[in-house]
């Protein structure tokens, strides 16, 4: 089975990590993506064939993708982003499988492109339910959870003292961590508001994005500027998970919550908002609080810090990269089946 994976963005977030796992493990994979995509060097280093396409928004790039499809001659095209979905159904008559990671309802203008996709791979039951309510037949949707590469998590060692020294904090300082892009739907502003209600806590955010300055200004306005630590993109997130008192995930919208799965596998206490598929992922191993409510988040942090940490052995068979690849391959085979 030859698959052309399409990602029309240059960013590297959770979806791109899953694409890298998939393309490096699924034989016959070729990837079309922008020439300045952050993922492109990693794909090339792994020996995955890549076809650069100059995508620019929802409209520019369809012709380039059509050329890439002719060059790759795939059995099917897998669209990994919303714009990739639109480009793919316009560029080819071959079967298109859409990976859907978002838990909000598509707009009415998207109905045509949704009708033209052969199948959908939803990252959680919550995303599947959104698609069904939008009108996608349930029998055209496969739920495949994200896979987590456990090797880095297993190698990481807890270093609570070293982390606090790095931040200039007292050895006994209480520290919570959020991991995710600094964008509105991740809800980091709620963590800043919660810190104003938790004078004994420091909040760390590992991630990049346009809202960094906004969060810093908000923290200064609320008097918590000295207790909010924007770490930027970190390559040692497993170490951070094992070195803080608590991991928080205050998203307002979340398809699955790959960062939450990683935290649970690392044995971290977790407090997550009840948004999208997060409750499915936490599944009794952490605390779920009302989304969009800083007081609920603050109370969750207070209570969550005394939770018994999850036993990673309970998650041994969940969130594996192997299961993600196998589930995705099966979805692709269904898309190619007659009828």
Mean pLDDT of 184-190: 97
Same domain, 154 and 96: no
**Whole-structure pTM value:** 0.88
Share of the chain above pLDDT 90, in %: 87
pLDDT digits (tens, 9 = 90+) for 25-38: 999 999 999 999 99
User: Taking all residues of the chain, what is their mean pLDDT, rounded to a whole number?
Assistant: 94
16 pLDDT above the threshold of 80: yes
Cα distance between residue 171 and residue 162, in whole Å: 9
Q: Are residues 162 and 246 in the same domain?
A: yes
- Is 136 in the same domain as 202? no
CATH number of the domain residue 82 falls in: 3.40.50.2000
Question: What is the tally of structural domains in the chain?
Answer: 2
What span, in angstroms and rounded, lies between the C-alpha atoms of 259 and 272?
A: 11
pLDDT tens track for 268-280: 999 999 999 999 9
With a cut of 80, say whether residue 109 has pLDDT above it: no
Tell me, letter by letter, the H, E, C secondary structure of 144-177. CCCCECHHHHHHCCCCHHHHHHHHCCCCCCEEEE
Whether residue 294 sits in one domain with residue 159: yes
Decide which of 60 and 206 is more confident: 206
**111 pLDDT above the threshold of 90:** no
Same domain, 127 and 198: no
User: Are 40 and 61 found together in one domain?
Assistant: yes
Asked if residue 132 and residue 119 are part of one domain, the reply reads yes
Q: Residue 55 has what pLDDT?
A: 92
pLDDT for res 289:
97
- Give pLDDT, residue 217: 98
pLDDT at 58: 83
**Res 255 pLDDT > 80:** yes
**66-107: per-residue pLDDT in tens?**
999 999 999 999 999 999 999 999 999 999 999 999 888 888
Distances (CA, A) of 95 to 73, 91, 119, 251, 329: 12, 11, 8, 33, 14
Beta-ladder partners of 123: none
Residue 261: pLDDT band with limits 50, 70, 90: very high
pLDDT at 312: 80
pLDDT for 295-319, tens place per residue?
999 999 999 999 999 888 878 788 9
The answer on 81 and 49 residing in a single domain is yes
Q: Domain check: are 257 and 223 in the same one?
A: yes
In whole angstroms, what is the distance from residue 36 CA to residue 40 CA?
Answer: 7
228 and 311 co-located in one domain: yes
Q: What is the pLDDT of residue 6?
A: 98
pLDDT-above-70 percentage for the chain: 100
Confidence at residue 316, expressed as pLDDT on a 0 to 100 scale: 77
Q: Are strands 174-179 and 141-143 parallel, antiparallel or unpaired?
A: unpaired
Confidence of residue 56 (pLDDT cuts 50, 70, 90): confident
The per-residue pLDDT for range 204-235, each reduced to its tens digit, is 999 999 999 999 999 999 999 999 999 999 99
| In a shared domain, residues 75 and 141 | yes
> Does residue 339 have a pLDDT over 80?
no
Enclosing domain of residue 221: 150-315
Q: Do 210 and 251 sit in the same domain of this protein? A: yes
- pLDDT value for 317: 80
| pLDDT of amino acid 108 | 79
């Amino acid at each position: 089975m030859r698959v052309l994976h399409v990602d029309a963005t240059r960013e590297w977030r959770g979806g791109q990590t899953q694409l890298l796992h998939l393309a490096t493990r699924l034989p016959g994979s070729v990837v079309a993506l922008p020439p300045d995509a952050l993922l492109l060097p990693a794909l090339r280093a792994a020996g995955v064939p890549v076809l650069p396409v100059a995508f620019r928004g929802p409209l520019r790039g369809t012709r380039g993708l059509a050329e890439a499809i002719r060059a790759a001659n795939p059995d099917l095209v897998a669209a990994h982003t919303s714009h990739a979905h639109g480009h793919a159904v316009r560029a080819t008559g071959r079967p298109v499988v859409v990976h859907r990671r978002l838990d909000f309802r598509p707009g009415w203008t998207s109905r045509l492109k949704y009708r033209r996709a052969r199948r959908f791979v939803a990252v959680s039951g919550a995303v599947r339910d959104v698609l069904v309510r939008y009108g996608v037949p349930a029998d055209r949707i496969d739920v495949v959870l994200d896979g987590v590469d456990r090797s880095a998590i297993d190698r990481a060692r807890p270093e609570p003292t070293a982390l606090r020294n790095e931040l200039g904090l007292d050895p006994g300082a209480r520290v919570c961590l959020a991991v995710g892009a600094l964008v509105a739907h991740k809800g980091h502003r709620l963590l800043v508001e919660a810190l104003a209600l938790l004078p004994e806590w420091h909040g760390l955010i590992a991630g990049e994005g346009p809202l960094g300055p906004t969060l810093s200004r908000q923290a200064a306005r609320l008097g918590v500027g000295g207790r909010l630590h924007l770490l930027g993109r970190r390559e040692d997130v497993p170490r951070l998970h094992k070195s803080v008192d608590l991991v928080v995930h205050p998203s307002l919208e979340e398809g699955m919550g790959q960062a939450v799965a990683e935290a649970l596998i690392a044995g971290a206490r977790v407090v997550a908002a009840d948004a999208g598929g997060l409750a499915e992922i936490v599944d009794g191993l952490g605390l779920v609080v009302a989304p969009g409510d800083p007081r609920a988040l603050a109370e969750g942090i207070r209570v969550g810090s005394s939770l018994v940490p999850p036993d990673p052995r309970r998650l041994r068979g969940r969130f594996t990269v192997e299961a993600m690849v196998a589930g995705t391959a099966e979805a692709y085979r269904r898309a190619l089946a007659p009828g």
